[in-house]
Amino acid sequence: MKIESLIVQGIPAKNNENGAIVPPIYLASTYVQPSIEEHQTYAYGRGGNPTRNALEELISKIEGVDYGFAFASGMAATTTAFNLFKSGDKILVNSNVYGGTYRYLDTVFQQQELSYELVDDFNLLSEEDIDTTVKALFIETPSNPLLQVTDIQRLAAIAHQKGILIIVDNTFATPYLQKPFELGADIVLYSATKYLSGHADVIAGLLTVADSGLAARIKHLQNTLGNILSPFDSYSLIRGIKTLSVRMDRQEANTVKILAFLKEHEAIARLNYPGSASPEEAAIQKKKHVETVRSFQLN
Ligand SMILES: Cc1ncc(COP(=O)(O)O)c(C=O)c1O
């Protein structure tokens, strides 16, 4: 199935005795168990909810991996990923990262005995820049707000050589335009509040992973921190995602026209558009589009 078809069709509802064509909104907080010894899939809504799980399965399928998790905001997804690390660990982060992520690094990291280093241009990072305390590279690409792009594939090769994780905030490109797992990412996160939702009526975050060990740790954190997405917002996000590919195509087409206009405008000194800064950046951007997205097929 092509990614466009999966996006619009979504995931069929489970245990669907009425044949609903979309997953219903399950508001129940608590579920009856067959007996004191036997437990069924759902017990308590923080641990699992059928509507949220439908969204989680959808994003994992779109991403092409086995595990997805939905959170109450993009920041909840980001901070859950940071909770994977322990005292003494250091994370390298692109300096032009979203302000809310920077606020967490600046004000909360120290209390958790974690440290970070801001990297001006991840594309210039080499193995020698990664000391033994560094446990992950956190890359927001394209970055917010300057839309700088980072070569995930090159950094993933370096990170894996060093045995550290590569976390990609793929909020701005979305899984429609960029497939970080195919480029070597270990964790991909989203502020689904933006393009994935698409209608400015949901605050939500998503984490996706391919590795079952990492997935188990994230599931534990999601249940323990309790920063879950509500059933209604899960439903709204499933609905918003249905139009992702058509919205992104139209937005790109419109933006290319605006870009052409602004390029010729005498009042414009510099344009921030992914791939427009230099031939090198254009090559990175092209790689994301051509090699990954456009040829991407789901079984
Ligand atoms: C790139 C990026 N990551 C994360 C976030 C945080 O997401 P949320 O606002 O859904 O908490 C934002 C929000 O603007 C963002 O732009």
The number of distinct structural domains making up the chain is: 1
Residue 264 lies in a domain: no
Considering only CA atoms, which residue is closest to atom 7 of ligand 1? 74
CA of 40 to the centre of ligand 1 (A): 35
Q: What is the pLDDT of residue 284?
A: 86
> From the CB of 63, is ligand 1 less than 6 Å away?
no
Dist. CA 184–CA 299, nearest whole Å: 20
Residue 284 lies in a domain: no
Predicted TM-score (pTM) of this structure: 0.95
Residue written as token pair 């991407």 = 296
CA of 168 to the centre of ligand 1 (A): 13
> From the CB of 197, is ligand 1 less than 6 Å away?
no
> From the CB of 56, is ligand 1 less than 6 Å away?
no
Residue 173 lies in a domain: yes
Higher pLDDT, 233 or 280: 233
Q: Assess contact for 141 and 101: CB atoms under 8 A.
A: no
> From the CB of 73, is ligand 1 less than 6 Å away?
yes
Tokens of residue 57, six digits:
């399965």
CATH number of the domain where residue 47 is located: 3.40.640.10
Q: What is the pLDDT of residue 289?
A: 53
Dist. CA 76–CA 53, nearest whole Å: 17
> From the CB of 203, is ligand 1 less than 6 Å away?
yes
Q: Return the amino acid letter for 218.
A: I
Tokens of residue 65, six digits:
């991996």
CA of 98 to the centre of ligand 1 (A): 7
Check whether 138 has a pLDDT greater than 70: yes
Residue 273 lies in a domain: no
Question: Tens digits of per-residue pLDDT, 1-44?
Answer: 889 999 999 988 999 999 999 999 999 999 999 999 999 999 99
Q: Report which ligand 1 atom has the smallest distance to the Cα of 172.
A: 1
> From the CB of 205, is ligand 1 less than 6 Å away?
yes
Residue 279 lies in a domain: no
**Beta pairing class for 115-119 and 67-71:** unpaired
Strand segments, DSSP code E, in 153-247 are: 165-169, 187-191, 205-209
Residue 186 lies in a domain: yes
Least confident of 31-45, 103-117, 266-280: 266-280
Residue 215 lies in a domain: yes
Check whether 218 has a pLDDT greater than 50: yes
Residue written as token pair 């890359």 = 139
| Residues of the domain holding 164 | 3-241
Residue 249 lies in a domain: no
Q: What is the pLDDT of residue 296?
A: 33
Q: What is the pLDDT of residue 295?
A: 36
Dist. CA 88–CA 79, nearest whole Å: 17
Instruction: Give the residue-averaged pLDDT of 141-161.
Output: 94
Q: What is the pLDDT of residue 288?
A: 65
